[in-house]
Structure formats: structure tokens, C-alpha cells
């Protein structure tokens, strides 16, 4: 994103129909990805949110303040052209899922992990037929191939935009189950973050909190929240209307 480090050159961002989707324009000029591909968004809600990110920029453009724009760029330039490779990478997290590895001591920590993580493993089993094994310690254990295949199948059903949103929800906590739980609405991003930090919180309570570690954790939480927001905007079709259809088209009327 270094090519974005420039001064603001536009007065206003707007949203316009673009084929079967929506595009953001800056003083009438369509925004493109860093690789110069058309930035076509699948929902009006997402386009509006990205336009707001551009409008919020001050004199110098700050890509870090534009998480939805960066996610859209990734969906178009990285995830869509290599969907299977990205899905394979995320699917691999099931084989080493955070929720499968429990502390050997102290008993209080192991109990907290069980209380927080067991219900999610039960949920994955009940909803996807994917029962993951649990062990104590960090030595990798083999997981049932059929369970991993069922988790992987879930990823094949997604589109590149959804897979982009799922990426951080899986990689940041280190758990495919936690990521899918947020994706399916079983957990919020805040809840998933808290569950992924049971070990860290236990250590902080025992030995005190480290400012650098806390700052890193806060950044991960913001990234998870951004991914959850991306999902919500992808699913928000309330403002959508087939872009090439006139607002008075009878096909759009619900009282017919």
C-alpha cells in the first residue's frame, strides 16, 4: 500500500452503480485497486462504507485508517485469483486448532480453557459433524480426516469476499473453529478475541500486564471487529437495488 501514501486530491467520494455491483468514485473518477483493477463492490452498504473511509481522509492518505478498502483490494487482487490456495491455508488451521491444545497446569487455567472452548468444539461437531480431538500440551496430534474435510468443505461454499472476511477471523486467533463461529453468528468478534486470549489473560493476571503485548492484542481485536463488520456489510442488501434497473421498475416493487 506504499503507493497510497499521497496527499488528498479529491473533494468528495460518492457511490455509483457499476454493472452488477457498485463503485466508489472520487470527484467522479472510479477508485481502482493498487494493481489498477476496477474496485467493484458486491453491496451498496459496503460501497457506502468504503466511500466514507475515503471521505474521512485528511491531507495525507492513511491506508491504516481504511481497513475495508484494504480488504476489498485483497478480495479482488489476492483472494479471487487464488481462492483454493487461500481456502487450503485457512483449512489447515483446523489441524492445529487453538481449541484443541490445553494447558497441563495450573488446573485453574485448564478449567478456564475447557469452560470456554469445549462448547465451541461441541458446536462444530453438532453443526458441521467436525469433532476435533483435544490434548494437553503443544505437541501436535492428528485430527480425524473426515472432520477436517467437513471443515474444509465449509470454505468451498464461500465466495472470495466472504473468504477475505474469514481470513483474519481464523488467522489472528489461530482457530478455524473460532473463525467459523463468528462467521455463522455463534460468537461476536469480541467474544472470539476473549476466548483466544484465555492463556494470555491468565498469565497477565498472575504476573501483570505488558503494555506492548496489550497494544498488540488491541490491534488484533480491531482487525477482528473490522472483519466482522465486513461480513455484515456483505450481507446487508437493504440498500441494494439491481444497479441497471430504474427505481420505478415493476420488478423492484413489493406491492405488486
Q: What pLDDT sits at residue 5?
A: 57
What angle do helix axes 211-235 and 176-183 make, rounded to 10 degrees? 40
Q: What pLDDT sits at residue 211?
A: 87
> In which region does residue 19 sit, left (phi positive, over 0), alpha (psi from -120 to 50) or beta (all else)?
left
pTM of the model as a whole: 0.89
Yes or no: say if 224 and 168 are a contact pair by the CB < 8 Å rule: yes
Strands 29-30 and 135-136: unpaired
Q: What pLDDT sits at residue 256?
A: 30
Cis peptide before 240 (omega within 30 of 0): no
pLDDT in tens, 118-174: 999 999 999 999 999 999 998 999 999 999 999 999 999 999 999 999 999 999 999
Q: What pLDDT sits at residue 36?
A: 97
Q: What pLDDT sits at residue 25?
A: 96
Low-confidence ranges of the chain (pLDDT < 50): 1-4, 243-256
Q: What pLDDT sits at residue 205?
A: 87
Query: What is the distance between the alpha carbons of residues 28 and 12, in angstroms, rounded to a whole number?
Result: 9
H-helix or E-strand spanning residue 81 = none
In 3D, which of 230, 135, 220 has the Cα closest to residue 174?
220
Q: What pLDDT sits at residue 244?
A: 45
Amino acid at each position: 500500500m506504499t503507493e497510497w501514501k499521497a496527499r488528498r486530491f479529491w473533494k468528495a467520494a460518492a457511490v455509483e452503480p457499476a454493472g452488477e455491483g457498485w463503485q466508489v468514485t472520487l470527484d467522479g473518477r472510479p477508485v481502482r485497486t493498487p494493481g489498477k483493477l476496477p474496485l467493484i463492490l458486491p453491496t451498496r452498504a459496503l460501497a457506502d462504507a468504503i466511500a466514507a473511509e475515503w471521505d474521512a481522509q485528511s491531507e495525507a492518505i492513511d491506508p491504516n485508517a481504511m481497513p475495508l478498502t484494504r480488504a476489498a483490494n485483497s478480495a479482488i487482487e489476492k483472494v479471487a485469483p487464488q481462492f483454493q490456495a487461500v481456502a487450503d491455508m485457512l483449512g489447515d488451521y483446523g489441524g492445529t486448532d487453538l481449541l484443541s491444545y490445553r494447558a497441563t497446569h495450573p488446573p485453574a487455567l485448564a478449567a478456564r480453557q475447557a469452560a470456554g472452548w469445549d462448547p465451541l468444539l461441541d458446536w462444530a461437531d453438532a453443526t458441521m459433524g467436525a469433532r476435533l480431538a483435544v490434548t494437553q500440551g503443544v505437541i501436535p496430534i492428528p485430527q480425524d480426516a473426515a472432520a477436517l474435510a467437513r471443515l474444509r468443505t465449509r470454505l468451498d461454499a464461500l465466495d472470495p469476499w466472504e473468504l477475505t472476511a474469514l481470513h483474519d477471523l481464523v488467522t489472528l486467533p489461530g482457530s478455524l473453529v473460532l473463525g467459523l463461529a463468528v462467521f455463522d453468528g455463534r460468537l461476536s468478534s469480541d467474544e472470539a478475541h476473549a476466548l483466544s486470549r484465555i492463556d494470555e489473560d491468565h498469565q497477565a493476571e498472575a504476573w501483570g500486564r505488558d503494555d506492548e503485548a496489550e497494544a498488540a492484542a488491541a490491534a488484533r481485536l480491531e482487525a477482528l471487529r473490522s472483519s466482522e463488520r465486513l461480513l455484515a456489510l456483505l450481507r446487508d442488501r437493504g440498500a441494494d437495488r439491481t444497479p441497471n434497473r430504474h427505481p420505478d421498475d415493476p420488478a423492484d416493487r413489493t406491492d405488486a
